Amino acid sequence: MSSSSISACEISSSKLPWKHRLLLRIGTIITDACCRSDFTVNRWLSGTLDWKIPPSTKPIDGVSSFDLTIDTSRNLWVRIFNPIIDDEDSNLQSLPLIFYFHGGGFAFSYADSALSHTSAHRFAKQLPAVVISVNYRLAPEFRYPCQYDDGFDALKFIDEVGEEILPAKADLSRCFILGESAGGNLGHHVAVRASEYTLKKVRLVGFIASQPFFGGEERTESEIRLRNQRPLNLRLSDWFWKAFLPEGEDRDHAAANVFGPKGRDVREVMKFPATLVLVGELDLLQDGQRRYYEGLKRMGKEVKMVEFENAIHGFFAFWDLPQYSSMIKEMKDFIATHTQNSIVFASSSSTKK
């Protein structure tokens, strides 16, 4: 059978276990029901179905967690995950710090939603790292640039008071941003802002963009070919942009098409961190992600791209799939490499002084 004779949904379904196919179908139905035609969200329905997990100062599966409020006026807060490390392992007495931005098309999920909480918990344990999951405002009630403001303000807050409230082993000189889907888009814009801001304690050394949500007015080949793919199809992708971008703007807005006609050249952003871009073979956003990789490379930034076969958008939510294990390995290697580079840089800086 030729590739043109089989639909994208059939391709993905044939590669996934039945339980994942069922979850994708249910998730698609729920999301469609919550996304209204006037580009508002049925918050009652989404809230009813959004299972929340509380923090726990008592370690659960090797990780404790607690919440910290930054600004009550906009409900900006973070959930901090602290992995419990064996005292005998001297190599892990200090841990990198990760600012985590969840996905959800800028319109769904919170830091205490089951998926976001569990993802951050697993990252804290498996990488390992102290993870700060940021609860940013959601569209369409809060459009661009509210999410970027929240993400950057959370980073600035930690820069100001981090040593006072973070676990003692959190190393502020080895900080990373990790963003999934819309969180990957958010992570890019926060990284640009942070690179142009004089941070006191936080040193941002890496950015992990896991299937980042970028777009543009011109349709890419993957958007057309995988337009009916679950869980993110082309119609839903367009809906998310319409609900997030300022009224009257199109997908060539700099928030979506970061290196497009209205985008920002980051050549002059000297401190932009080394970047790892993770791409799924069955993700309709893959061409935009490759374009992002090529853009950073063209602008002289350190960037690596890894593609995962048979991986749908959001495969990072299916922790029992082999692609997830491969993703964790890539993240660990990236963090280890740039943690070592950070140590070398700090040592050379100290010697110069």
* Catalytic annotation, pick one of 171, 283, 338, 342: 283
How many whole angstroms separate alpha carbon 303 and alpha carbon 148? 22
Contacts of 237 (CB under 8 A, 6+ apart): 105, 213, 215, 223, 284, 285
Contacts of 247 (CB under 8 A, 6+ apart): 143
Name the 3-class secondary structure at 284.
Answer: coil
Contacts of 276 (CB under 8 A, 6+ apart): 206, 207, 208, 209, 303, 304, 305, 306, 330, 331, 334
CA distances for 217 relative to 238, 254, 321, 332, angstroms: 10, 12, 33, 35
* Catalytic annotation, pick one of 133, 181, 222, 342: 181
Q: At what angle do helices 322-352 and 114-126 cross, to 10 degrees?
A: 60
Would you say 268 and 321 are in contact if contact means Cβ atoms under 8 Å apart?
no
How many whole angstroms separate alpha carbon 175 and alpha carbon 346? 13
Quick check: is 313 catalytic? yes
Q: Which value, to the nearest 10 degrees, does the dihedral of the CA atoms of residues 42, 46, 48, 51 take?
A: -170
Six token digits for residue 137: 């405002």
* Catalytic annotation, pick one of 102, 313, 338, 342: 313
Six token digits for residue 80: 């901090």
Quick check: is 181 catalytic? yes
DSSP 7-45: -HHHHHHHHS-HHHHHHHHHHHHHHHHHB-TTS-B-HHH
Q: Cite the active site residues.
A: 181, 283, 313
